[in-house]
Amino acid sequence: MIKKYFHPELMGYDGTQLASLWAYRTFQIMGDSIVAFRGPCKVGLRTMVDLEDVLKGDTIYSPEMLHFIVEHFDMDLEKTVLRQRLFMTIIKEDLEEVYSSSLIRSGDDLYLIDKKLSVSIATRTPVSTMIHVGLNVQTEGTPVPTASLSQLGEKNPEAFARRVMEQYVAESTDIYLARCKVRGVN
Amino acid sequence: MIKKYFHPELMGYDGTQLASLWAYRTFQIMGDSIVAFRGPCKVGLRTMVDLEDVLKGDTIYSPEMLHFIVEHFDMDLEKTVLRQRLFMTIIKEDLEEVYSSSLIRSGDDLYLIDKKLSVSIATRTPVSTMIHVGLNVQTEGTPVPTASLSQLGEKNPEAFARRVMEQYVAESTDIYLARCKVRGVN
Amino acid sequence: MIKKYFHPELMGYDGTQLASLWAYRTFQIMGDSIVAFRGPCKVGLRTMVDLEDVLKGDTIYSPEMLHFIVEHFDMDLEKTVLRQRLFMTIIKEDLEEVYSSSLIRSGDDLYLIDKKLSVSIATRTPVSTMIHVGLNVQTEGTPVPTASLSQLGEKNPEAFARRVMEQYVAESTDIYLARCKVRGVN
Amino acid sequence: MIKKYFHPELMGYDGTQLASLWAYRTFQIMGDSIVAFRGPCKVGLRTMVDLEDVLKGDTIYSPEMLHFIVEHFDMDLEKTVLRQRLFMTIIKEDLEEVYSSSLIRSGDDLYLIDKKLSVSIATRTPVSTMIHVGLNVQTEGTPVPTASLSQLGEKNPEAFARRVMEQYVAESTDIYLARCKVRGVN
Amino acid sequence: MIKKYFHPELMGYDGTQLASLWAYRTFQIMGDSIVAFRGPCKVGLRTMVDLEDVLKGDTIYSPEMLHFIVEHFDMDLEKTVLRQRLFMTIIKEDLEEVYSSSLIRSGDDLYLIDKKLSVSIATRTPVSTMIHVGLNVQTEGTPVPTASLSQLGEKNPEAFARRVMEQYVAESTDIYLARCKVRGVN
Amino acid sequence: MIKKYFHPELMGYDGTQLASLWAYRTFQIMGDSIVAFRGPCKVGLRTMVDLEDVLKGDTIYSPEMLHFIVEHFDMDLEKTVLRQRLFMTIIKEDLEEVYSSSLIRSGDDLYLIDKKLSVSIATRTPVSTMIHVGLNVQTEGTPVPTASLSQLGEKNPEAFARRVMEQYVAESTDIYLARCKVRGVN
């Protein structure tokens, strides 16, 4: 069972949070987890894990994002990329269902027409795999055209965070059980 | 690279197609593949791999479905269930984008309000993992209330099948590359 | 979380219970599980999975055993053999603590001096790995010298089964968490 | 085959020994291994790998321990935690059999009533998984109430070390073979 | 350590030997093994595991071959195909070194100019992966142009079998150790 | 599909190139790859990954080598050692076929009688496994007796590099497909 936690205080994200056992060291949450919090986002080239961004010289900035940090104690990074896409889908489906927003998912990115709502990355630590997702709450000063949750109708990031974390935990359990109710074939 | 193929002739699906190397034995397609074809669907209790359906005594019937059979030569069934959910998402996103249809995804099922568009299962063979997805083309006589592709606006199942197979192959490649462009963290 | 269940009715064990999804098909228990029940045990050469016994022509018989059937949806058979040894240790430790019994564990077997208390095997199905453990409740007619739970002081097999299942579930969770609280080293 | 070695000279343990290829770099022992030696134990917060201890501010100290360092070139940390529990069981069973000591195993810890005999941890390196086990030989100045091997009757730590290493190697081989003598089931 | 055995009596190979625990059931050899024997080879479509041959309607026949049956209790079939190629290389290198024969290796096949010396396949059982290699000792009546060991200068199939089995075991051990003597890099 | 690239400019190899995503960071080649280039080779004890060399105090030097750097986004180091041996075999077979050279392969080393043609190592990064192979183009000042490609008849290292990279990519694909065309057995 994946543990979920919404941290009510503002906290900045600068890339150093994407490190093994961050949820345990910070919040004493042991095991697979998804944690959400709000705060500014500023990732420079030194802490960037996506080398595609490093090669382009792209950095990440947002005055305020809703952040999610996921840790799975499973070492298969491709599988965690699949989980990341599932989580982006859950975010998109929630916004569509609740606000009739029409988002475009392009891989692990979400767009409102041509404005970017999200940043996301998945990587591997010595003992786990991890995902970071950031959704803009405010958009002033972002280096590319961006959309925010409130432009999509979501004025309550905490409630939204709780819903999508709930759904991620439920669907992850459901996926495991889907694998436990079929017989093998020849 | 996953191979894709649309088989132009009608072919029934009765569950026996969910068997290792089916694409190779039937169409000489070797390696990971996604194959689509149209035809009736009738799966009885004996060939049902979902034991939840078997316990309920549910059988599957549709006068005509668009079928997809996917085979990955990767033995991790939970990972293939994640791929299955991704494929359902791709189907949903295509129908939304092209026809502005408003589908609900519930796990590996797609619904138009309360009418079921799809059946789907993922399982394991001695040498691979496999997915079957069936989308109703016609709905007469189905055991539960169902929706069809044409009710959603899609009158050309073949063109639709080619688009979603194309997208599945592209996104699968993209997922693999996403895992190849990040450095590890501590 | 592993599910646990004590089935209150007598049920024979003949080896055919060691089959994937047995707990789901029989008791609607989905996912990793440990199930216990009482009943006679008679395994002939045809359903024997231990080929060492088959080569020796050994069969298994007991007029009444306390049976445990464990299923893990993890495909690593060596790991499941390690879990089996852990479960035998838990059984031994419970009997020692509660009844000051002095058992000898030899691999996956438990002995009271030179009398065999248990039979056990671990194997692989197309979708899972499984363990069977049988502990003698009665010993008349067994093909080798045997000891029974009641000779060790345990007159209440159900209470005993509930304790060791509880302990197996708790320790399995603890082992997973032990893996989730350490940083990697160089 | 796991190699075993008792190092006859005193050597301190401070946590830095829990590093990949330590047995190879120190004793030219290549491959899976278990090495034992005697010496003081002092692990500070910087070299502690158990973050539960770090969070509590617990450090480890003993004037003299019998140390075991195990390395498996298998990357599955949960499996190595299972091996660690098996090794603790082997230690307990040896002391019980030889000295009729009555130890309590609680996870990866051994107690004589409420006195702690052991410290233990398992973690992952970039190329292997490793276990450290320390058993008190002397107990003066330990931060928690502790028991020593000699209090349990064992006056010869070297002979004891050789016996439990022998048993660990033998049982590990036996576990592998247990996985090699069963047929699969359905 | 892989066990090796040369069986001195003639035995036919018809494909049914490629089954889990064959070496254990037939020769009481437990664990990873390589077994060699001489005898006719006749594999019909029903026992053929290579579906490429089945699709072409190819069957296998040789009046006498030197057979090798390898079993690894490792479930990764691609890895076992790599081991199979290594074994073909060892066979080629032995014949080159001892008899200055000039063989061509094409995947898992060995040719003397355009005459086929070998048949080979690797597959998966429920508990292991397996390799069969057959080298012609006599060539009368083979369905394709074939070469024999004696045409390559090797008049003593048993001595040859013992040499290449010895080399396969030694190189497999060496490969494992090669993995145990390197530190990880960033 | 493994990407291949011959870099036409001289570049030194000092061991730091054996690092994850080197081909991506240096040449924007994303995914599994094999890259070749020419240049001097000098690896000191600090960047040496083979601890056997470190223990012996051996360093590596050659005035000019043809270098290959391979990266597989697969974490199984033993499998990558198998791939490394296959690549050495491909190199040997090309030189034999084209120049009738008679090389001896000893593990991952190639010799012309007692002169060493190659250096090679395989290791693991946080996100991949990697291979380095260096073949002497010039031999002045090497610490052990060495042979060069030109002594073997190969005057065109670039053409040679392109041929063996082509063959490595083709055989790797073939190995994957060999695993995709067999049915499982019992």
Nearest to C30 among A21, A24, A181 (CB): A181
Asked whether the beta carbons of residue F183 and residue E123 sit closer than 8 angstroms, the reply is: yes
Chains with at least 3 CB pairs less than 8 angstroms from chain A: B, C, D, F
Query: What's the sign of the alpha-carbon dihedral C2, C6, C9, C12?
Result: positive
Q: Which H, E and C letters describe chain B, residue by residue?
A: CCEEEECCCCCCECCCCCCCCHHHHHHCCCCCEEEEEEEEEEECCCCCCEHHHHHHCCCEEEEEEEEEEEEECCCCHHHHHHHHHHHHHHHHHHHHHHHCCCCEEECCEEEECCEECEEEEEEECCCCEEEEEEEEEECCCCCCCECCCHHHCCCCHHHHHHHHHHHHHHHHHHHHHHCCCECCCC
Nearest Cα residue in chain C from A185: C126
Question: Do the Cβ atoms of D90 and D167 come closer than 8 Å?
Answer: yes
CA distance A161 to chain B (A): 19
Q: What is the ipTM of this complex?
A: 0.96
Containing F26, the helix (H) or strand (E) segment is helix F22-27
Instruction: Report the gap between the CA of F95 and the closest CA in chain A (Å).
Output: 38
Helix (H/G/I), strand (E/B), else coil: C25? helix
**Looking at chain E, which subunits does it touch, using at least 3 CB pairs closer than 8 Å as the criterion?**
B, C, D, F
Q: Collapsing DSSP states into helix, strand and coil, what is residue D183?
A: coil
Which residues of chain E are at the D interface, by a Cβ-Cβ cutoff of 8 Å?
1, 20-21, 24, 30-32, 73, 125-128, 176-177, 179-185
Residue C99: pLDDT band with limits 50, 70, 90: confident
Task: List Cβ neighbours of E144 (8 Å cut-off, separation of 6 or more).
Answer: E116
User: Is F78 close to E50, i.e. CB distance below 8 A?
Assistant: no
Q: Which helix (H) or strand (E) holds C114?
A: none
Look at A59 and E13; give whichever has higher pLDDT. Answer: E13
Residues F16-51 as b or e (16 or more Cβ within 10 Å = b): ebbbbbbbbeeeebbbbbbbbbbbbbebeeebbbbb
Q: Do C183 and D104 touch (CB under 8 A)?
A: no
CA atoms within 13 A of residue B42's CA, in its CB half-sphere:
5
DSSP code for E91: H
Exposed e or buried b per residue across F118-143, where buried means at least 16 C-beta atoms within 10 angstroms of its C-beta: bbbbbbbbbbbbbbbbbbbbbbeebe
Mind telling me how many Å the CA of F137 is from chain A's nearest CA? Answer: 33
Dihedral angle sign, alpha carbons of residues F104, F109, F115, F118:
positive
Residue for token digits 């005459």? E115
Provide the pairing of β-strand C118-124 with A118-124. unpaired
Nearest-Cα distance to chain E for D182, in Å, is: 8
Mean pLDDT of chain A: 95
Phi then psi dihedrals of residue A79, to 5 deg: -65, -40
Which of D20, D30, D182 has its CB closest to that of E183? D20
Comparing A27-36, A44-53, F14-23, F86-95, the range with the smallest average pLDDT is A44-53
| For helices E77-99 and F77-99, angle between their N-to-C axes, nearest 10 degrees | 40
Q: Do E24 and C51 touch (CB under 8 A)?
A: yes
Pair of tokens at residue E148:
């024999």
Can you tell me the mean pLDDT for A8-16? 97
Share of chain B above pLDDT 70, in %: 100
Nearest of D119, A132, F76 to residue E78 by alpha carbon: F76
Virtual CA dihedral for F126, F127, F131, F137, nearest 10 degrees?
A: -90
Q: What is the pLDDT of residue F102?
A: 82
What whole-number distance in Å separates Cα of residue B59 and Cα of residue B119?
A: 11
Chain-chain contact of B86 with A85 (C-beta, under 8 angstroms): yes
Task: Note whether E83 contacts F82, CB cutoff 8 Å.
Answer: yes
pLDDT digits (tens, 9 = 90+) for B93-108: 999 887 777 899 999 9
Q: How far apart are CA C38 and CA C62, in angstroms?
A: 11
Lowest mean pLDDT among B116-130, C96-110, E33-47, E105-119: C96-110
Q: Which two tokens mark F103?
A: 């090389």
Q: Which residues pair with B35 in a beta bridge?
A: B5, B69
Identify whether the C-beta of residue A139 lies closer than 8 Å to the C-beta of residue A146: yes
Helix H or strand E segment including D89: helix D77-99
* DSSP run (H or E) holding C24: helix C22-27
Residues of F in contact with A125 (CB under 8 A): 126
pLDDT computed for residue A100 by the predictor? 73
pLDDT tens sequence for chain E (186 residues): 899 999 999 999 999 999 999 999 999 999 999 999 999 999 998 899 999 999 998 889 999 999 999 999 999 999 999 999 999 999 999 998 877 778 999 999 999 999 999 999 999 999 999 999 999 999 999 999 999 999 998 999 999 999 999 999 999 999 999 999 999 999
Closest C-chain CA to D100? C102
Q: Where are the beta strands (DSSP E) in E44-106?
A: 60-72, 104-106
The dihedral through the CA atoms of A85, A89, A92, A95 has a sign that is: negative
Interface of B with A (CB under 8 A): 18-20, 49-52, 76-79, 81-83, 85-86, 89, 93, 96-97, 102, 104-105, 107-108, 121-126, 130, 171, 174-176, 178-179, 181-186
From chain D, pick out residues whose CB is under 8 angstroms from the CB of C86: 82, 85-86, 89
Confidence of residue B69 (pLDDT cuts 50, 70, 90): very high
Residue (of B124, C88, D140, A30) closest to E124 by Cα position? B124
Q: What is the pLDDT of residue F182?
A: 96
Q: C55 and E127: CB-CB below 8 Å?
A: no
- Burial readout B54-86 (b: 16 or more C-beta within 10 A, e: otherwise): beeeeebbbbbbbbbbbbbbebbbbbbbbbbbb
From A28, A137, A22, select the one nearest A69 (Cα to Cα).
Answer: A22
Q: How far apart are the first and last CA of chain D?
A: 31
| Predicted confidence (pLDDT) per residue in D19-41, tens digit | 999 999 999 999 999 999 999 99
**In order of start, what are the domains of chain E with their CATH numbers?**
3-180 (3.30.930.10)
What secondary structure letter does DSSP report for E150? G
* Contact between F178 and E123 using a beta-carbon 8 Å cutoff: no
For residue D51, which of A126, F47, E108 has the smallest C-alpha distance?
Answer: A126
Residue E69 three-state SS: strand
What tokens does C2 get? Answer: 């592993």
State the pLDDT confidence band at C98, using cuts at 50, 70 and 90: confident
Size of chain D, expressed as the number of residues it contains: 186
Tens-digit pLDDT profile for residues F41-60 = 999 988 999 999 999 988 89
One-letter amino acid identity for A131?
A: I
Average of pLDDT values for F122-147? 96
| Residues of chain D that touch chain C, judged by Cβ-Cβ distance less than 8 Å | 18-20, 49-52, 76-79, 81-83, 85-86, 89, 93, 96-97, 102, 104-105, 107-108, 121-126, 130, 171, 174-176, 178-179, 181-186
| Contact across the interface for B51 and C24, Cβ inside 8 Å | yes
Q: What is the pTM of this model?
A: 0.97
The confidence score (pLDDT) of residue B95 equals 93
Residue B116 CA, distance from chain mean position: 14
Are E25 and C55 inside 8 Å of each other by CB?
A: yes
> Residues E112-141, buried b or exposed e (16+ Cβ, 10 A)?
beebbbbbbbbbbbbbbbbbbbbbbbbbee
**Cα end-to-end span (Å), chain F:** 31
User: In Å, how far is A52's CA from the nearest CA of chain F?
Assistant: 9
Of A24, A75, A183, the CB nearest to D75: A75
Interface test with F, best of B174, B183, B185 (most F CBs within 10 A): B183
Distance from CA of F126 to the nearest CA of D (A): 7
Bridge-based pairing state of the strands C129-138 and F115-116: unpaired
Would the pLDDT of F128 be above 80?
yes
What are the structure tokens assigned to B135, written together? 């989308």
Is it the case that residue F38 has pLDDT exceeding 90? yes
Cα A176 from Cα B81, distance rounded (Å): 8
Separation of alpha carbons D74 and E128, rounded Å: 18
DSSP string for C120-184: EEEEE-SS-EEEEEEEEEE-TT-SS-B--TGGGT---HHHHHHHHHHHHHHHHHHHHHHTTSB--
State the residue for tokens 């040789």: E62
**DSSP at F152:** G
Token duo for residue F126: 């946080």
Nearest to A77 among F21, F28, F127 (CB): F127
Q: Which residue of D has its CA nearest to E72?
A: D180
CB contact under 8 A, F179 and E18: no
Per-residue pLDDT tens digits for C42-56? 999 889 999 999 999
Radius of gyration for the alpha carbons in chain A, expressed in angstroms and rounded: 16
* Chain D residues bordering chain F (beta-carbon distance below 8 Å): 21, 24-25, 28, 30, 75, 126-127, 183-184
With cut-offs at 50, 70 and 90, classify the pLDDT of residue C110. very high
Q: How far, in Å, CA of E166 to CA of E6, rounded? A: 11
- Side chain identity, residue D155: K
Instruction: Work out how many CB contacts closer than 8 A connect A with C.
Output: 55
- Which has the closest alpha carbon to A72: A172, A180, A174? A172
How far apart CA E129 and CA A46 sit, in angstroms, is 45
SS3 D130: strand
* CA gap F61, F45 in Å, rounded: 12
Q: Are F38 and F65 in contact (CB under 8 A)?
A: yes
Whether B25 sits inside 8 A of E126 (CB atoms) is no
Using the beta-carbon criterion (under 8 Å), do F30 and B181 form an inter-chain contact?
Answer: yes
Chain B residues close to A18, C-beta within 8 Å: 185
pLDDT value, residue F9? 97
Q: Which residues of D touch F19 (CB under 8 A)?
A: none
Burial group, residue E153, by CB count within 10 angstroms (0-12, 13-18, 19+): exposed
pLDDT value at residue A105: 96
